[in-house]
A and B are shown apart, each in its own frame.
Chain A
């Protein structure tokens, strides 16, 4: 068991890091304002620079944080359900199922914008059902599930790219989902995301005991009076919901839901009571970091956070796997 001191320290440092990063992100780009000027501009008197930052940078910062938190928790839940540290909504096709429906909705029914996450959710559930049913053979087979997921993901991603190319990328909203671009987000997007993400995170906290129990053998969980299939279905739904709503707004982001829970487990241990809230904070930090780095590294051009995460996340994941075998084994 990780010591309480270590857990508290991890929490405190990550939250402090998130706050610092937030201030840094606010001040990264063409416009720069002092901290004092920023606070005054926000709460006291009108300041043109601050107003511009408020309209342009704040939404994307909040969206990155909300999306990162949602994705990280989604990863934790999926990994608990599948007893598989490789489960990631991006890798097994849930995110691409969600974004495919989100792309269609944005393209054909732009007026239904505010319920796009609901449709994305349906797409995510469909992808999840396909993956589960194809990998079901006397129970969920972890490896089979990853393989099927990779294939399902390829099909959905292919369909999405095809749609995007066939329409000459004229649906900019759809294209931004395909490319996981969060540069053009507004306060409307934040408003939409915040409700869904909050609901998802609250549900995740409600099932944390079930997640802990699911780490045991299925038969043992049953012997404790818990309907394993029901628990799996419920927790999966919450995971799919969190992944889908974030995908609907920010697009498909791989590796985050894989890396963040891994680091979190190393730092705070496998108890979901701590793991779920900590992953949410760390996920917010990581996606905001990726987005901010993407804005800086090749300015004035931007690299999308999903690209940054793939470049850094892939190798980092391999490194983590090698290191974490002891921590995670058994």
Chain B
């Protein structure tokens, strides 16, 4: 049964031992949009991110991915549907950019052999060009700056050729210039190539500006879901972060005075 949603979650429960992290949460994620999870530290957004990406298994409830139980999908098949850029990444200092991006083709290989080298090459090249790392494809990772490295990791995920892209705090450790570079690139991937983006962001203003949909969490529950302009209000923010925050408006989108 094909579902019109990418994710269809009902009564999802998760606990670390006795410590309950997610408490019967239900939501859906529509395709073709940028959805951002926000919430205070420890609200469960990282746990939810890991559940959605098969890094954790739910304790209860239904977690449907495109109409199928996520747990029943093989890791390798999932890797052809969704690519994930995790927050923290390491690579050998001497590996070339092109080689690392090429690892993104792994889900399509069997026994280390590629089925179609031409498609591999085309996707790797596209991924490197789109993320603007093509010009240093022969350079070793150890010689790149933080912003360049992050774009390479993004390129590796793009080489997986998936319709869904997960980003876990993709702007952490980067200065503002590279943060914007990554976010603009993310938006371009969504608008131009129709890639569904699901991400966790710490910076609220960036979340408000670049997202089509906000999923606000608090204490293992979802407090609000919807377009930033509709659901993010001063009351919601007070509830989620337990501080008074003031919202303004710019370009028809809310923005936050970080004071």
Instruction: Give A residues with C-beta under 8 Å from B.
Output: 1-2, 206, 208-210, 212-213, 215-217, 219-220, 222-227, 269-271, 327-330
Contacts and interface: CB of A to CB of B under 8 A. Distances in A.
Contacts of B237: none
B45 to A, nearest CB: 16
Given A224-B107, A271-B95, A217 B88 contact: yes
Given A2-B94, A206-B112, A225 B79 contact: yes
A328 to B, nearest CB: 8
Given A224-B79, A225-B76, A225-B78, A217 B90 contact: yes
B91 interface: yes
A271 B93 CA distance: 11
Interface string B77-92: 1111001101011111
Contact of B142 (A206, A210, A216, A330): A330
Contacts of A220: 84, 86, 89, 153
A271 B103 CA distance: 13
5 contacts: A209-B112, A215-B95, A216-B90, A269-B94, A271-B95
Bin chain B's interface residue count: 35 or more
Contact of A216 (B53, B74, B76, B103): B103
B106 A226 contact: yes
Given A1-B95, A329-B93, A330-B142, A222 B54 contact: yes
Interface of B: 53-55, 74-80, 83-84, 86, 88-96, 99, 103-104, 106-107, 109, 111-112, 138, 140, 142, 153, 157, 160
Determine which residue in A225, A270, A328 has the highest number of CB atoms from chain B within 10 A of its CB, and name it: A225
A223 B92 contact: no
Considering residues A212, A224, A270, which has the most beta carbons from chain B within 10 angstroms of its beta carbon?
Answer: A224
A216 B91 contact: yes
A226 B84 CA distance: 13
Contact of A224 (B89, B99, B160): B160
Contacts of A219: 55, 84, 86
B157 A215 contact: no
Given A224-B104, A225-B74, 5 more contacts: A206-B111, A209-B112, A212-B103, A223-B53, A225-B77
Contacts of B75: 222, 225-227
Contact of B89 (A217, A222, A225): A217
Contacts of A328: 93
Contacts of A227: 75
Nearest to A227: B75
A265 to B, nearest CB: 9
Nearest to A326: B93
Nearest to B50: A219
A327 to B, nearest CB: 7
Contacts of B106: 209, 213, 224-226
B92 A270 contact: yes
A329 B93 CA distance: 7
B251 to A, nearest CB: 34
Contacts of A226: 75-76, 106
A291 B247 CA distance: 76
Q: Which of A210, A215, A219 lies at the interface centre, i.e. has the most chain B CB atoms within 10 A of its CB?
A: A219
Contacts of B80: 225
Nearest to B153: A220
A180 to B, nearest CB: 33
A201 B145 CA distance: 38
Nearest to A219: B86
A269 B141 CA distance: 13
Contact of A223 (B83, B138, B140): B83
A1 B94 contact: yes
A253 B89 CA distance: 35
A330 B54 contact: no
Contacts of B153: 220
A219 B56 CA distance: 11
Nearest to B84: A223
A226 B91 CA distance: 16
B92 A215 contact: yes
Contacts of B74: 225
Given A1-B140, A216-B103, A223 B90 contact: no
A222 B85 CA distance: 11
